[in-house]
Amino acid sequence: MAKPNVISKGDLIKSAKECLVHNGIDKFTLRSVAELAGVTQGTIYYHFKTKEQLLLHIVQDICDSSWSEISHQSNPYIISQAIKSAKSRCSYDSFFHKLFFTLLVSSFTNEKIRRQLEEITRSENNALTQNLMNLWSQSPIDGVSIETWGILINAMIDGLALQALLKKDFPVEKTYAEIERLFNSLTRLLNEGDK
């Protein structure tokens, strides 16, 4: 029996995530989301006009949740938590990155998806930059702004995820341990320079 059409967007996104995990991207349908949520397809269309729009909301929700969790960390742990969060989504069968890159490909022919992904990327860049500004009083390298560091970190994380999706034995643990060591060293150098 379908629930009345009183369901939040957040509950629908939660059901859609479950559908993606169980069915995969290839078999993901708005009908399967409606069935799992116990609502009609009309309810899904009321909140999300297309499947792609729902998928974009899932990506946005995952990003927002991740940044919300990270922002509650104290300064010394911000980078460590951000790296841990990124590492948790870096794997050969990463649900998040399969979804993200599928939408990225769609954005090449769909300007609306492209604009929404651009906004998600801008938001991530800004969050990284803000967290770095809370950690660093200035950039650890002259001529490289903290904003550029935020963009570089975001690009690096997505690039590592792409490599992990392509290579089953990609060295995730080693790579992320060394990335954390790199940023801890930069922070230490910056702090020593401040003394």
Q: What is the DSSP string of 58-117?
A: HHHHHHHHHHHHHHTS-HHHHHHHHHHHHHHT-STT-HHHHHHHHHHHHHTT-HHHHHHH
Q: pLDDT digit of tens for each residue in the chain (195 aa)?
A: 444 457 889 999 999 988 888 887 778 889 999 999 999 989 998 999 888 889 888 888 888 777 776 666 556 667 778 888 889 889 998 888 888 898 899 889 989 889 999 999 999 899 889 888 888 889 999 999 999 999 999 999 999 999 999 999 999 999 999 999 998 888 888 877 666
- Does the domain at 1-49 match CATH 1.10.10.60? Answer given as yes
In angstroms, rounded to a whole number, what is the distance separating the alpha carbons of residues 2 and 191?
59
Domain boundaries, the chain: 1-49, 52-194
Q: Report the CATH number of the 52-194 domain.
A: 1.10.357.10
Q: Give pTM, 2 decimals.
A: 0.79
